[in-house]
Structures are given as C-alpha cells and as structure tokens.
C-alpha cells in the first residue's frame, strides 16, 4: 500500500515536470489564519443562531397564541351555535289546543309562549311564522278556518305583549298535515297545535338573561 502510493506520487511528479517544462512557479503564500477573525466569525454565527432561536420561540408563542385564539373563537362559535340551536328549538316549540278551540290554555302553553316572547324581545331581527293545525274530526273546510284562528290567537298573545305584528305571519294547514296519523284521542291531541318557524333573523340568536 505504502509502496503503491509512493510509486504513483513519483509518476505524478514526473508527469508534472515534463508538462511544465520550466521551473515550477512560486506558489502564493497561504494567508496566515487570523485568530481574531475566527472569533468574530464564530460570534457572528452564534448571534445568528441565537436570533434564530429567539425568532423561533416568538413564532412558537405566536402560533400557540393564534391556536388558542382560534380555539377560543371556535369554542365561542360552538357555544353561540349551541345557544342559537337551543333558542331556535324554544322558538319552534309547539303549543296545543282543546278540541274545536283556539284559546291559549294557561299553564304549559303560556310558559312556552312566555319563552318565545322573551326571545323575540332580545332578538329584534327575529321574524317568525305561526301555522295552525287541527285534528281530523271537524269538516275539512272549517278546519282551515280553525287552524287560522289558532295561529291568530298565538300571534295576538304575543302582540298584546308588545311584539310588532309585522314580525309574525300566520298560516293554516287545517287537518292536512297531522304529526300523528292515528285516529284516536292521543293522536288528535298532538295534531291540534300551532307550529312556529323562523322566517328571518335566525342565523345567530341570543338567549334572554335568566334563561
């Protein structure tokens, strides 16, 4: 191995000597390493690394902060959506009626309407539609009028308490759309109802205080 290396070095020198012809030029003196510049370079690099690390940490903090804000926003939106959904379902809660009657029954039905009243008060952009329904027993045409009367009496209950009439439209389905297709008192009781739907301003709903 040593021998082989020496040989090939020797050949290389010879070839070089033949190729150059004249004497080899004086090589420029290698610059003496400046101990100061080495230190400066090292310092520069260290400074860059430190700066890098500082920026990284700031970025990390910012990212974490952004994530936190995003998460909080998402959570807030989710809370808001949940509240909106909850309020919406309160708005949509039905009220029921006695056979061939359109008066609001004190008790459960007025509680349901009280909820709607408060919701309409704190959500001034909210518009609703009340649709009256009947059971199958009255005559078909009469039930259209009765369903309408049921819708009107819920609207009057709300407007009497300060809700503007133009925020509430009324419709009647008569006996055309039962929720329970049965032919017994249980089904009839469910079918005699006012349904409430949101027609505008329901994208984001506020829950009344104390609810």
Site of interaction with other proteins (CB under 8 A)? 100, 129, 131, 137-142, 144-146, 148-149, 152, 155, 165, 169-173, 176
Least gap, CB of 136 to other proteins (angstroms)? 10
Task: Determine the Cα angle at 75 with ends 71 and 79, to 5°.
Answer: 170
We find the least distance from the C-beta atom of residue 149 to other proteins, in angstroms, to be 7
101: its two tokens:
């009657």
Residue (87 or 174) nearer to other proteins, CB = 174
Nearest distance, CB of residue 157 and other proteins, angstroms: 15
Dihedral Cα 85, 177, 149, 88, nearest 10 deg: 0
The Cα 90–Cα 37 span in angstroms is: 77
Return the number of the residue (118 or 153) whose C-beta is nearest other proteins: 153
**What minimum distance in Å lies between the beta carbon of 176 and other proteins?**
7
CA 120 centroid distance within chain:
24
147 neighbors 173 (Cβ within 8 angstroms): yes
């Amino acid at each position: 191995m040593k021998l082989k290396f020496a040989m090939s070095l020797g050949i290389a020198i010879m070839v070089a000597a033949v190729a150059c012809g004249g004497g080899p030029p004086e090589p420029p003196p290698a610059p003496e390493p400046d101990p100061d510049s080495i230190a400066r370079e090292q310092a520069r690099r260290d400074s860059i690394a430190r700066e890098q690390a500082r920026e990284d940490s700031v970025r990390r903090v910012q990212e974490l902060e952004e994530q936190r804000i995003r998460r909080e926003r998402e959570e807030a939106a989710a809370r808001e959506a949940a509240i909106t959904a909850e309020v919406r379902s309160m708005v949509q809660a039905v009220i029921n009626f006695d056979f061939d009657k359109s008066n609001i029954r004190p008790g459960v039905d007025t509680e349901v309407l009280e909820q709607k009243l408060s919701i309409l008060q704190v959500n001034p952009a909210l518009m609703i539609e009340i649709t009256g329904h009947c059971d199958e027993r009255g005559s078909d045409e009469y039930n259209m009028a009765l369903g309408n009367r049921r819708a009107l009496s819920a609207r009057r209950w709300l407007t009497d308490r300060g809700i503007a009439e133009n925020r509430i439209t009324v419709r009647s389905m008569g006996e055309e759309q039962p929720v329970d297709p049965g032919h017994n008192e249980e089904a009839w009781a469910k079918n005699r109802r006012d349904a409430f739907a949101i027609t505008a301003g329901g994208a984001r709903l506020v829950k009344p205080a104390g609810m």
